[in-house]
Chain A
Amino acid sequence: MPGSDVLVFVENHRGVLKRAALEALGEGRRLARAAGGRLGVILLGTGSSVRAEGLLGPQVVYRSEDPLFDSLHLEAYSVAFRAAIDEFQPGLFLLAATAIGREVAPLAAHLLKTAVAADVIEVEPKGQAFEVRRPIYAGKAIASVRCPRPAVVSLRPNTFPQEEPAEGPPPRVVDLPAPEASSLRARVVESRLAAGSDRLELTEADIIVSGGRGLKGPENFALLEELGRTLGAAVGASRAVCDAGWRPHSDQVGQTGKTVCPKLYIACGISGAIQHLAGMSSSKCIVAINKDPSAPIFQVADYGIVGDVFEVVPVLNEKLKEFLAG
């Protein structure tokens, strides 16, 4: 069927492929295979050639080693996308709904004269279109949307299984053009690691330990940082504590912060305002620790402990160390 070919943008940063992008690749492979279509991959920036050679399964890999792609030069991304899309003619352009994914998705949508179906949790081919499901109002509702081909779909991180290493002949590799740096109107003049960038990104973490006003002050988040280290978890926060300046806004979970869906979400001293619940209630397992037994967080929690976070969390941390070692 025309339009059954799937083109996946796989986020590469200096040879490291983003986990969420590998999830998009896995879903892209599934959809291409189901429709008997081809799978194409776009890999940009330093290290993309090495990565391109290691990918078995896609029929084509479009790549460019140009260091312009190591920073988010959208004009360069647009030139590369246009060349790949013109040659591959995808029925579906797939990518991960990460910070970079949100910026580059409109480029693909404009080239394919469509809109982005953003932050999607399910994709199924339906005749000449795709039917996708996406949470709206931070998960208070789910919209089913019909997207005619060609469609541009960004996938919510942590929702789809990761790409399995596949067998098959090596892909055809196509070099993509990059514009001259001097021709760009928008230039990245600085690119540096953000403070705390060694920490796990909330939207991609398997486990999140999150704190609210019950922690009484910013210094007490050390308790959660410690628990986070034991569990290999990211640390999140409620809106109240971000607005109070206890934690950076980038840590905020909820309708005006991040929507997360980890395997395990441990809410400590969070009462569970509706806008917070919206951002985390699709987590696979929720644990709540709160001293108020009537706190709304217990309505969505799979397991609750009624108690003071200052008493429970240190014991939880110690027992977990024993438990995980044993």
Chain B
Amino acid sequence: MRIAVCIKRVPDSASRIRPSGAGIETGDLKFIMNPYDEIALEEALRLKEKLGSSEVLAVSLGPADAQAVLRQALAMGADRALHLAHPGVSGLELDGRQCARALAGALRAEAPDLFLFGKLSIDDQSAQVGGLVAQELGLVSVGEVVKIEWTGERFRLHHHLDGRIEVVEAAPPVVATAHKGLNEPRYPGIKGIMAAKKKPLSSVPADPGPPAMEILRIEPPPPRQPGRIVGEGPAAVEPLLRLLRKEAKVL
């Protein structure tokens, strides 16, 4: 089975974000593999381990240092990596349609049986690139998957829809986006890290096409009014309830 996993480099969720014009300051940000993409990659590796004779291709669209997350993917166990080079350093420069077109264009020829994405990237949070790639390529897709089974002919994909669980069956090729709960991603070991250095990583320019929308500015969220400590221990409960009713008017 051929599996392609699309991964994005994003600022660590512990980062402070400093807006700057229509972008953010990236100088001292620590970038990591998007956590949901890590789950997608782990699932690809588990499918490969179960099925044997499979290939896992890791793909990342981004600036030169996106290759760092591709090396990490190779160290975790991906077989080869494809970097779609684009100069945008923050990861906000391309909209969902552009990302999807660049990825779909590069993956069309690879013709994987399974395309895996994270359910969203924790930077831009648009939650659409997987679905749009499926549309670009005319494929079926299932979002926010928490379990993937392979029957030998078809995938069985389980996902949550606000209180409902649905199981979708489809023959390859299929696009799926990974949600938390699908698995616990592994850490790359020393052996993996050494092996990754010899695995193929190619880089080609991305072809995202024209933008569909434009970021005008990025600002910090409106500051919250400073709060106050109502008191200590259970004695503070009654004054708190009075404040919630009379001042905050939420009870």
Contacts and interface: CB of A to CB of B under 8 A. Distances in A.
Interface of A: 13, 18, 71-72, 74-75, 78, 98-100, 102-103, 105-107, 109-110, 113-119, 131, 135-148, 151, 185-194, 197, 199, 201, 207, 242, 248-250, 252, 254-257, 259, 263-264, 273-275, 278, 281-282, 284-287, 293, 298-308, 311-312, 315-316, 319-320, 323-324
B241 interface: yes
B181 interface: yes
A117 B212 CA distance: 10
Nearest to B132: A106
Interface stretch (B51-59, B63-71, B136-144): B136-144
B233 A312 contact: yes
A186 B174 contact: yes
B163 A201 contact: yes
Given A137-B17, A300-B224, A315-B237, 12 more contacts: A75-B140, A105-B128, A115-B96, A186-B169, A189-B169, A190-B166, A252-B180, A300-B227, A302-B228, A303-B227, A305-B229, A306-B232
B228 A304 contact: yes
A141 B17 contact: yes
Contacts of B193: none
In the complex, which of the residues A201, A254, A323 has the most CB atoms of chain B within 10 Å of its own CB atom?
Answer: A323
Contacts of B109: none
Nearest to B219: A142
A176 B35 CA distance: 39
Contacts of B134: 106
A102 B212 contact: no
A249 B145 CA distance: 13
B194 interface: no
A274 B16 contact: yes
A142 B219 CA distance: 5
A103 B131 contact: yes
A311 B233 contact: yes
Contacts of B1: none
A138 B97 CA distance: 21
B14 A110 contact: no
Interface string B109-127: 0000000000110111111
A147 B13 CA distance: 27
Contact of B123 (A136, A207, A273): A136
A173 B153 CA distance: 42
B27 interface: no
Contacts of B168: 72, 186-189
B215 interface: yes
Contacts of B174: 186
Nearest to A132: B213
Contacts of B224: 281, 286, 300, 302
Nearest to A317: B237
Contacts of A307: 232-234, 236
A115 B126 contact: yes
B190 interface: no
In the complex, which of the residues B140, B168, B218 has the most CB atoms of chain A within 10 Å of its own CB atom?
Answer: B168
Interface string B8-37: 000101111101000010000000000110
Given A146-B216, A281-B224, A319-B241, A274 B14 contact: yes
- The 6 lowest CB-CB distance pairs between A and B, nearest first, are A106-B131, A197-B163, A110-B135, A190-B167, A186-B140, A115-B96
B162 A115 contact: no
A122 B231 CA distance: 37
A82 B134 CA distance: 16
B170 A185 contact: yes
Contacts of B122: 137-138, 255-256
A311 B95 contact: no
In the complex, which of the residues B96, B144, B243 has the most CB atoms of chain A within 10 Å of its own CB atom?
Answer: B96
Nearest to A107: B135
A100 B162 contact: yes
Nearest to A130: B213
Contacts of B237: 305, 312, 315-316, 319
Given A99-B144, A256-B35, A319-B237, A249 B180 contact: yes
B11 A137 contact: yes
Given A75-B140, A141-B221, A312-B236, A115 B128 contact: yes
B96 A109 contact: yes
B231 to A, nearest CB: 6
A8 to B, nearest CB: 18
Interface in B161-177: 161-171, 174
B244 A303 contact: yes
B125 A118 contact: yes
Nearest to A288: B227
B204 to A, nearest CB: 23
B251 A323 contact: yes
Contacts of B219: 141-142, 144
A106 to B, nearest CB: 3
B161 A99 contact: yes
Nearest to B161: A99
Contact of A115 (B92, B123, B143, B213): B213
A287 B244 contact: yes
A22 B205 CA distance: 44
B191 interface: no
A21 to B, nearest CB: 11
